Amino acid sequence: FDRRADMADERQELRDVWGVSHETPVVVTVGRLVAEKGFRELFEAHRRLRRTGSNHELVVVGPTEAGKADGLTEDEVAQATADGVRLVGFSDRPERYYAAADVFVLASHREGFPRAAMEASAMGLPVIATDIRGCRQVVDDGVTGLLVPVKDSTVLETAIRSVLDD
């Protein structure tokens, strides 16, 4: 988990595959596509950012969990894709996606100790996470990232916009 020179080729390779320029900000999240990971709020924040002219990309690394009680529905996944969300599925090499990203978001409703947020932080990414146990131990609010309230897509949108504009 080192964003420096060793990962520069990974960054460029993924961005080339996606057709995303070096200047386009990439927001990444890693996790199972279930409601408790805050995907509904993240997708809503993304949708509103795009409507107001943001040219960012949102990349989701993680498996769909359609069979889970709180798994996102096929319609929700289809709508996210229609809104420009890149769903790349499971990866055993998430560091590639952190290298390609500029911001990491974890909108989870509950966490123990969020490994993905730790990994993103180790890669030097600013982390936007919910203000819950676990995330508070990873994010130094206002220094290494931002903490936002749980289930608040409006504040999440504002936080993403703030980091993208900084």
The rounded distance, in Å, linking the Cα atoms of 135 and 116 is: 10
Six-digit token pair at 22?
């070096």
Q: Grade residue 16 by pLDDT with cuts at 50, 70 and 90.
A: very high
User: Rounded to two decimals, what is the model's pTM?
Assistant: 0.94
Cβ distance 161 to 149 under 8 Å?
Answer: no
Q: What is the pLDDT of residue 70?
A: 86
Q: What is the pLDDT of residue 64?
A: 87
pLDDT digits (tens, 9 = 90+) for 54-91: 999 999 999 987 778 888 999 999 999 999 999 999 99
Q: Could you tell me which of 18, 27, 65, 32 has the C-alpha nearest to residue 47?
A: 27
Q: What is the pLDDT of residue 4?
A: 64
Residue 149: its H or E element? none
The rounded distance, in Å, linking the Cα atoms of 22 and 33 is: 27
Strand, helix or coil for residue 37:
helix
Q: Could you tell me which of 94, 149, 85, 90 has the C-alpha nearest to residue 118?
A: 94
Cβ distance 126 to 109 under 8 Å?
Answer: no
pLDDT digits (tens, 9 = 90+) for 87-137: 999 999 999 999 999 999 999 999 989 999 999 999 999 999 999 999 999
**Strand bridging mode 86-89 / 26-30:** unpaired
Neighbouring residues of 98: CB distance < 8 A, sequence distance ≥ 6: 1, 3, 28, 104, 119, 120, 123, 125
Q: Could you tell me which of 57, 52, 46 has the C-alpha nearest to residue 157?
A: 46
